[in-house]
Amino acid sequence: MQVHHPPAKPVPMILDILPDMPVADGVCPRRARLQIDLILLAIEALDLSGSEAILKAAKDLELQSIIKNRVMLWRLRSTNPFRRNSQRRPLTLAEGKALVLIACNLARRLTVLIRQLLLAHQQLQEKQLSLDHHFRLAEYLERFRAHFRSRMNPKRAGVMAYDTDEKLNELALLLLGQLLFCTGTSGTQRLWSSVFDGEVA
C-alpha cells in the first residue's frame, strides 16, 4: 500500500541569506529561542503596533508559509523557556531564521528612534540623572518591564534574576544595543550568529 505524504512546503528563498548552524537535530537551542523572543519583546516595547507589525513584516518578507497568523507567531515565540505558557515543541532553524529576519526588518525601520534612545541614555549617565528624566526612554523601559512581567513565568530561575525595575531596565537597554547592531551592514547575519554564541563549536 502506497503512503501519500503531503507535498513539502517550499522554503522561502529569503531564508538562504542566513547559514544553517551545525546544531543538534537542526533545531534552535534554548539560548537562541530565548534571545530571539527577547529581541522581539524589545521591538514590541518600541513599536506600539506590537504583534501586528511583526505579522505585517512576515507578509512583506513573504514568510507567511512559516508565520501565517497570530496563533502561529505565539507558538513560535512560546518556545522561549522563560514564557508563562512555554511550548515544548522545537523551534526549527527555518522558523528561527524567519523571526530573526523579521526582527532585523523592524529594527531597521526603528533605527532613528533606537539611536535617539541610546544617545539619551548616554547623556543621562553623563549628567548623572535618572532614566525617567527622558520621557520617551522612560516610556520604552516601562513598556518593556510590563511586557516581560506579563509574559514570563515568575517561577523560572532565569526570570527571578530580573526581579527589580533596575535589572529589567538593564536588560531593556542591552536589547536596545542589540537592536542597533541589527540595523548595520550584515546586521541580520550578525544577529543570527550571535544568538548561537557558545552553542556552535
Residue 44 amino acid letter: E
> Which three cell numbers, joined as nine digits, stand for 138?
522612560
Q: Determine the Cα–Cα distance for residues 157 and 65; give it in Å rounded to an integer.
A: 35
Checking if the pLDDT of 98 tops 80, the result is: yes
Residue owning grid cell 530561575: 157
CB atoms within 10 A of CB 27: 16
> CA–CA distance from 91 to each of 4, 23, 124, 157 (Å)?
26, 12, 39, 22
At 129-186, the pLDDT tens digits run 999 999 999 999 999 999 999 999 999 999 999 999 999 999 999 999 999 988 888 8
Q: Is the dihedral of CA 108, 58, 42, 189 positive or negative?
A: negative
Helix%, strand%, coil% for the chain, nearest 5: 65, 0, 35
> CA–CA distance from 99 to each of 67, 72, 128, 170 (Å)?
9, 12, 37, 23
Please give the pLDDT value at position 176.
96
Among the listed ranges 10-14, 65-69, 75-79, which one has the minimum average pLDDT value? 10-14
At 71-84, the pLDDT tens digits run 999 999 999 999 99
CB atoms within 10 A of CB 124: 17
Cα 75–chain centre separation: 14
Please give the pLDDT value at position 185.
82
- Of 133, 135, 138, 163, the residue nearest 149 (C-alpha): 163
Please give the pLDDT value at position 24.
78
Checking if the pLDDT of 189 tops 90, the result is: yes
Question: What predicted TM-score, i.e. pTM, was given to this entire model?
Answer: 0.90
Mean pLDDT over each residue of the chain, to the nearest integer: 90
Q: How many residues does the chain have?
A: 201
